[in-house]
Amino acid sequence: MGDDNNNGNGEILPCWYPRTCCKKQPVYDGNIVALGWIIDLVARAVAIIGAGAFLANALLNLAKEEAGCDPNAVECDGRAFGIRPSSLITTYTVVVGIVSTSIMPLVGAVVDYTSVRLKLGRILSVAFSLFLVVTPFVGPKTWFPIAICQILVSSIGWAISALSLAYLPEIETDKDKLNKLNANFTIVQFACMVVFLMAVVAASQLFGLSEDNLATARLGMGSAAVLGVIGVNLAWFGMYESRPAMRELPEGASLWTEGFKQLYRTSRNIARNYKGLMWFYIAVALGEAAVQSLVTIGITFMTDTLNFTSSESGLVVLCLMLGCVPGGYASGIYIERFKRPVFGAVLACLGMTLGTIFAAVVLRKPGQQVTAYCFALVWGFFSGWKYTVERFLSSTMIPPNQNSELMGVFMFATQCLSWLPPLVFTAMNESGIHQRVSMGTVATYFVMAIVAFCMIGSYEEALRQVGRDSYEKAEADGNDDVEEIKNTAEFSSKSSPDVETPQTKAGAISLMKGSMKEEPSDR
């Protein structure tokens, strides 16, 4: 093999490894785990977005038929399996949120205490594929079992996300390079989703299926199943690598419960010693709950109140994705130029707040497709911005040597409240409150996220709290105490308010170094 087959670290790349068009260099500098990470991410994103854009609309209309209503009726007061048809998708989202939140500590325990991260990812990728491949067979007699299969697809997808996110901080240790990788991952992810949505919408128009919700849903989910199955399994069986256990399981502890105990201990320690990090996770929990629910609530509102077809719902999600691409790009530039990622997150949540409020006020009747598309572009821009800046913060605003553990906490934060906004919407919808009012309540979660981000303070102070400034300075200066500073940043399950925090110990080490260097001159 020639040098062109090397990744720069002496490792030989597979012959199929993709290269850039112009310079013919291996993409991601030959980092096969980075390539697998983005392929896995895109595959799962396509599967989930296909369900939100096309399957959800078909399920709502089939539920209306089950309840004895006209699918084209603006509102249906009938019942399907005990609930109003317009509550179907939000109820499904509540279930997914609760299930995914419950299994994440277990997945975190697998990452921390075992070396089977790769093996579990492969098992989950197969299960994900088996449930995904049946979703294109949705119909009047199968819609409810298909809805259950989609719940399983989404729940398993979140478990895979928790496993894959543990690889992210291991891909690149340099903060600036990681920022660029995060921005690139976001842009590639949303760009691929845009291409997927455009292809499905164009195909539905080409084959005359745009007015047939069921046929469009089958086309969309069939395409998503092919891409999702290939991508997820390619990443987990061909690109991800095995990792050793991060720590030993305590004697007498159970893997089934240790994840929940560790989550509690870690959360308690963060609350006591890392106030900035605590407020970051609170902000993420509130903001992500709002963003994730906005898609399902928005699709429900536009299908039931604005009478959108599956193709029109697909165009809404397409506009959302189109907005995400420049949003992610602009966020990366903002972080690199102004070095104020926390304030960048505040700006993103502010934009989402205003967009949601105005949408609830302006969108009120059928025939407002163009206006809805414009709002989707605004939501997409600020979602892409928020997604990029939060991923950057989650990788940098944590104590050194705690990447995998705190990536699990971040992933838990993104899901722990995802069930709350759709639950509130469902309760209001079942009570007969107009869906415009229910959708407007999503803005309150963005406002609370803004408050939490403001409580973090400056980014530099947040880094000092976790000892990042001392560690990175020592690493840059080539000091011998890097490992010592790393070790002081490890979380202790026996920590108390009186225990020294990593930044205190790291600062003491730096002071000791400084006094040792000054001693000869004093003499």
Quick check: 478 pLDDT over 70? no
Closest CA relative to residue 361, chosen from 407, 410, 301: 301
User: Domain 30-242+255-465 adopts which CATH fold?
Assistant: Growth Hormone; Chain: A; (1.20.1250)
Neighbour-count burial of 78, counting CB atoms closer than 10 A to its CB (0-12 exposed, 13-18 middle, 19+ buried): middle
Q: What is the DSSP letter of 27?
A: G
* Opening angle at CA 96, ends 92 and 99, nearest 5: 135
Query: Do residues 396 and 178 lie in contact, with contact meaning Cβ atoms separated by under 8 Å?
Result: yes
Whether the per-residue pLDDT at 46 is higher than 50: the answer is: yes
Rounded CA gap, 204 and 220, in Å? 9
Closest by CA position to 268, among listed 454, 499, 445: 499
Global pTM reads 0.76
Q: Above 60 in pLDDT, residue 420? A: yes
Which residue(s) pair with 19 in the sheet? 26
Which whole-number Å values give the CA distances from 494 to 177, 270, 498, in the listed order? Answer: 35, 13, 11
Q: Where is pLDDT greater, at 193 or 6? A: 193
pLDDT value at residue 471: 46
CB distance 167 to 281 below 8 Å: no
364 close to 461: Cβ distance less than 8 angstroms: no
Q: What is the pLDDT of residue 133?
A: 96
If you average pLDDT over residues 341-363, what whole number do you get?
92
| pLDDT tens, residue by residue, 70-125 | 777 667 778 888 888 888 888 988 999 898 888 888 887 888 888 899 999 999 99
Residue boundaries of the structural domains of the chain: 30-242+255-465
Please, which pLDDT band fits residue 508 given cuts at 50, 70 and 90? very low
Average pLDDT, the chain: 81
Give the residue from 234, 226, 36, 235 showing the smallest Cα distance to 132.
226
Copy the structure tokens of residue 96: 């997914």
Q: How far is CA 131 from the centre of its chain?
A: 21
For 282-312, write each residue's pLDDT tens digit.
999 999 999 988 888 888 888 888 888 888 8
Q: Count of alpha carbons within 13 Å of 141, Cβ hemisphere only?
A: 0
∠ at Cα 105 (162, 291), nearest 5°?
Answer: 55
- Residue 124's pLDDT is 95
- The mean per-residue pLDDT over the stretch 331-340 comes to 84
pLDDT in tens, 220-255: 999 999 999 999 999 999 889 888 887 888 888 888
For the cut 70, the answer to whether the pLDDT of residue 29 exceeds it is yes
**pLDDT one-digit tens code per residue, 369-389:** 899 999 999 999 999 899 889
- What is the amino acid identity at position 198? M
* pLDDT of 427: 93
> Apex CA 28: angle with CA 26 and CA 32, to 5°?
85
**For residue 6, what pLDDT is reported?**
58
CA torsion, ordered 247, 252, 257, 262, to nearest 10 deg: -40
Name the range with the highest mean pLDDT among 18-22, 62-66, 282-286, 507-511: 282-286
Give DSSP secondary structure letters for 465-476.
HTTHHHHHHHHH
Pick the closest to residue 401 from 479, 325, 487, 284 (CA basis).
Answer: 487
347 has a pLDDT exceeding 70: yes
